[in-house]
Amino acid sequence: MLLLLLGCLLVVGALVLVAAALGGPRPLVGVDRSVAYLEALNAAPEEIRGDTDPPFAERVLVPLRRRALATGRRLSGADSATRIRRKLDLAGNPREWSVDAVVSGKVMGAIVLFVVAVAVTLVLGTSWPVTLLVVAGGTVAGFFVPEIFLYQRAYDRAQRMQRELPDAVDLLRISVESGLGFDAAVQQVARNLEGPLSEEFARVLKEMQLGQGRATALRGLGDRTDVEDIKGFVSAMVQADSFGIPVAQVLEVQSTEMRVKRRQRAEEKAQQVPVKITVPLIFFVLPTLFVAVMGPAALSMMDNL
């Protein structure tokens, strides 16, 4: 009886195990597992799906930018980072622009203009020499587009700073003569003026507040620009700080000098007007005058002949 009871228990246990194996949930493998994951992901809330589904920029643009950056570093020279950083300083360090962004932008610009040049030549049906020339020119131009942008932005910024410098020096002189210190006068310039020069003076003020000396902060201003007037102003202020010359006296001399230079530049540009107007006069004004004056006479001669 004991052996019979033990045999029945073993049979029942085996049946239970078989039923559990056949009726219980099976682990998903292969395609079934992928389908189940997609169904669960579609049924999940939007907040959870946002974490598991990265945006297009992270999935495509970021890897593409990394590859372009690696290619650009190989194509650029060893001192390219220093040169680009210098151009960024002259351009005012635009937002979201860095050395890596410029290097990768050069490669991506070359690729984009290469594709555009190929598409244009295919649409126009040009010959192979013309196609090769256009594609090569577009690729080279696309590679240098970011540097051209930085150069133009730096040039415009330098011109604007040169125009704003006399007003800034006048405001500095008035503030110092009214009893303010040099730091407070710089703060007045940064607060009351607008433009790149005001931003540079605000940066000088922050550097002085962070513990840098006045001469060091002013030298940094001179290093971040190629405007000769600003470099001269910085040199004069540094020398005045070194030798103990009164700041108001130096600012008065600098203000007068800046006004004289502004008037001289205006006179120079006025004297360049007759020379610059010669080209449009020859190619646009004189031909219309010839048509208006000689046209009726030419028509009469044609009728008579």
pLDDT at 221 over 60: yes
Predicted pLDDT at 23: 47
CA distance 128 to 151: 34
**Averaged pLDDT score across all residues of the chain:** 80
- pLDDT (average), residues 258-275: 88
pLDDT in tens, 68-105: 767 777 777 767 788 888 888 888 888 778 888 888 88
Model confidence band, residue 22 (pLDDT cutoffs 50, 70, 90):
very low
Predicted pLDDT at 26: 47
Question: For the whole prediction, is pTM greater than 0.75?
Answer: no
CA distance 243 to 236: 11
pLDDT at 37 over 60: no
% pLDDT > 90, the chain: 5
pLDDT in tens, 290-299: 888 888 888 8
pLDDT at 148 over 80: yes
pLDDT at 241 over 70: yes
pLDDT at 21 over 50: no
Predicted pLDDT at 32: 54
- pLDDT (average), residues 191-211: 89
Do the beta carbons of residue 147 and residue 172 sit within 8 Å? Answer: no
- pLDDT (average), residues 125-136: 87
pLDDT at 9 over 70: no
Predicted pLDDT at 24: 47
Predicted pLDDT at 20: 47
Which residues have a Cβ under 8 Å from the Cβ of 41 and sit 6 or more positions away? Answer: 49, 52, 53
Predicted pLDDT at 155: 92
**How much of the chain is helix, strand and coil, in % rounded to 5?**
85, 0, 15
Predicted pLDDT at 156: 92
pLDDT at 231 over 80: yes
Predicted pLDDT at 40: 58
CA distance 33 to 40: 11
